[in-house]
Each structure stands twice: as structure tokens, then as C-alpha cells.
């Protein structure tokens, strides 16, 4: 299984039983320290980068909420950050998906009362109230078959996990239900749902300096990424229709100039994933 728990509010999960999948498609970053940045001068939401996928931490009245726990070994550092922003315990962990660069430290949070992920159970879940309300969405296959978008509507912020890792070719974990063919349409559904959201936190891009964090990704960037995956898919389909092999398609890949700044480290693997689907 790729996800640790069903989306059921109030569930109590034994941390020691969490199932974490292994996937080598997302390039590892060598960073060994964490950086915490507030997202607004008067708010209680923090971006934590380094150590794996980008995480969000919120200091609530009844406990600290952490979205994604990074690679194994970062539990103590995350708890230190939590204690620096709140005198409440870390009570809730949310996973955007089950890969170890986003969930690896979860077993280190032995006192967390609630661990929430996706196991093909619900399309949506709401937690907490008021400006601290959290809404979780599952809108279809893409990076895996369990990618959850975590939104903070009152703060107009969404964390995308590896549905939008940054301006780079996406990785697709086919073994865990990912789909390069479905990726663009899933992103389109995400954009349709994120009404009122104006700040997007990507799964792996390095944030600019500063605390509070100013600028960075917007809905326009997410729309561009959806367009990128759609144009990428169209180029691969065209190469397939012309009888080219997956290696030939990757080597001859041509994309519009608007994507010239995109990192294409995962391009060959993405092409191979798409070929595997359309050949079936």
C-alpha cells in the first residue's frame, strides 16, 4: 500500500504499523538540515524545507499539525521546530502520499494521535474550523494513485506534494498506481477545486529566502504546470504515433519555449511511463 491511513476524521493510528512505499523516481536532494519560514507575519503556518519534500506545520489551539514528515531521521528536528512555534504537542500528521521522502520520519512521532493519508476511501475531508480549517482532496491518478492536495482555505494556501513538485518533469510511480496519461486531467480537476487559493507550495522546489516568505508559486504557476504536462503528453503521443521508441521519443522531445526553464531530469522516465500506458 502507498498510504498510511484512510481519510477518516478522528482516527487513531498505530505509528509502528505505517506502510511506506519505496520509489526512486524523485531525485534525492543532499540537504541535511531543515529551514523554517513563516508564511505570514501574523499567521501560525510555517513552511519547512530541506530533508525531503516540502512540509507545512501549523500551530493550532489544540495541537500542532504537520503535513509530510520528510525522510527518516528528521523527527527530532521537526519536533524542535514544533516546540519553537507552540507550547502544544504535535498531535496530527497528514501525508500528501506515501513515498519515504514525504513520510520517512513518521514512525519517530510516537505521541501523534492522528495520522491521515489516502487509501482510496474518500474524495475529500475537512479538519478543524475557522481560519485554521484544513481541506484534503483526492482527485485522481497522477504521481501515484494516492496523491492528496492539502489546502488551508482561510489562509488561501495549498500544498501540492508531488502533484506539482516544482518546474520540472514529473515523476510517475507506476507500481503504485501513478499515471502519466492521467496527470494533466488530474491537475485540471485540482485547479477547478482550488477556488480562493492564491499561494501554491510545490513538493520539492527550493523556496526563496525570507521569513515571512514572500511571493513564490501562484495558481498561474500551477496552471502552467498543468499545461506543461498536457503538452508533454501530446509530444509523447505524437512520437508514439510516428513509430518511435520510447528512447527515441525522449531524445527527440521538443516542447514550447515557455517551458525552457523546466528541469527535465525525469523526462526519460516520464516518457517511458507514458509509453507503458499507451502500449497496453
Q: What CATH number corresponds to the domain at position 180?
A: 3.60.15.10
Average per-residue pLDDT for the chain: 89
Residue 221 lies in a domain: yes
The predicted structure's pLDDT at residue 1: 24
Query: Residue 42's pLDDT is what?
Result: 85
What pLDDT was estimated at residue 17? Answer: 33
Look at residue 222 and tell me whether its pLDDT is greater than 70.
Answer: yes
* Residue 48 belongs to some domain of the structure: yes
Question: Do the domain assignments include residue 5?
Answer: no
Instruction: With respect to residue 112, please indicate whether it lies within any of the assigned structural domains.
Output: yes
pTM, entire model:
0.89
User: How does pLDDT run across 56-108, given as a tens digit for each residue?
Assistant: 999 998 899 999 999 999 999 999 999 999 999 999 999 999 999 999 999 99
Residue 8 lies in a domain: no
Residue 3 lies in a domain: no
Lowest average pLDDT, out of 22-36, 143-157, 262-276, goes to 22-36
- Quote the number of domains for the chain: 1
In a domain, 7, yes or no: no
Give a yes or no: residue 171 inside a domain.
yes
Q: pLDDT band for 122, please (50, 70, 90 cuts).
A: low
Is 19's pLDDT higher than 80? no
pLDDT of 44 higher than 80: yes
pLDDT at 123: 75
Would you tell me the crossing angle of helices 183-193 and 219-241 to the nearest 10 degrees? 160
In the three-class reduction of DSSP (H, G, I as helix; E, B as strand; rest coil), residue 127 is classed as: strand
- Structural domain including 99 reads 15-278
Residue that is written with C-alpha cell 504536462 in the block:
229
CA distance 40 to 127: 21
**Dist CA 27 CA 191 (whole Å):** 26
Please state, for a pLDDT cut of 90, what percent of the chain lies above it.
Answer: 81
Q: Are 4 and 18 in contact (CB under 8 A)?
A: yes
Amino acid at each position: 500500500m502507498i498510504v498510511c491511513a484512510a481519510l477518516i476524521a478522528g482516527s487513531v493510528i498505530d505509528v509502528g504499523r505505517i506502510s511506506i512505499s519505496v520509489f526512486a523516481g524523485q531525485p534525492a536532494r543532499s540537504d541535511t538540515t531543515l529551514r523554517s519560514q513563516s508564511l505570514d507575519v501574523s499567521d501560525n503556518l510555517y513552511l519547512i524545507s530541506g530533508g525531503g519534500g516540502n512540509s507545512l506545520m501549523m500551530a493550532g489551539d489544540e495541537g500542532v499539525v504537520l503535513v509530510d514528515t520528510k525522510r527518516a531521521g528528521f523527527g527530532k528536528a521537526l519536533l524542535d521546530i514544533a516546540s519553537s512555534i507552540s507550547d502544544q504537542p504535535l498531535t496530527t500528521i497528514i501525508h500528501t502520499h506515501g513515498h519515504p521522502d514525504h513520510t520517512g520520519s513518521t514512525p519517530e512521532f510516537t505521541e501523534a494521535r492522528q495520522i491521515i493519508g489516502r487509501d482510496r476511501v474518500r474524495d475529500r475531508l475537512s479538519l478543524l474550523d475557522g481560519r485554521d480549517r484544513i481541506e484534503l482532496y483526492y482527485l485522481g491518478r497522477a504521481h501515484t494513485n494516492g496523491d492528496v492536495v492539502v489546502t488551508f482555505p482561510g489562509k488561501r494556501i495549498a500544498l501540492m506534494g508531488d502533484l506539482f513538485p516544482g518546474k520540472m518533469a514529473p515523476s510517475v510511480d507506476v507500481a503504485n498506481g501513478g499515471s502519466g496519461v492521467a496527470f494533466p486531467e488530474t491537475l485540471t480537476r485540482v485547479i477547478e477545486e482550488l477556488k480562493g487559493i492564491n499561494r501554491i507550495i510545490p513538493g520539492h522546489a527550493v523556496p526563496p529566502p525570507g521569513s515571512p516568505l514572500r511571493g513564490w508559486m501562484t495558481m498561474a504557476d500551477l496552471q502552467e504546470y498543468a499545461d506543461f504536462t498536457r503538452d508533454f503528453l501530446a509530444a509523447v503521443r505524437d512520437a508514439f504515433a510516428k513509430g518511435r521508441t520510447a528512447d527515441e521519443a525522449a531524445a527527440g522531445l521538443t516542447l514550447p519555449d515557455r517551458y525552457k526553464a523546466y528541469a527535465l531530469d525525469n523526462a526519460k522516465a516520464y516518457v517511458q511511463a507514458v509509453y507503458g500506458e499507451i502500449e497496453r
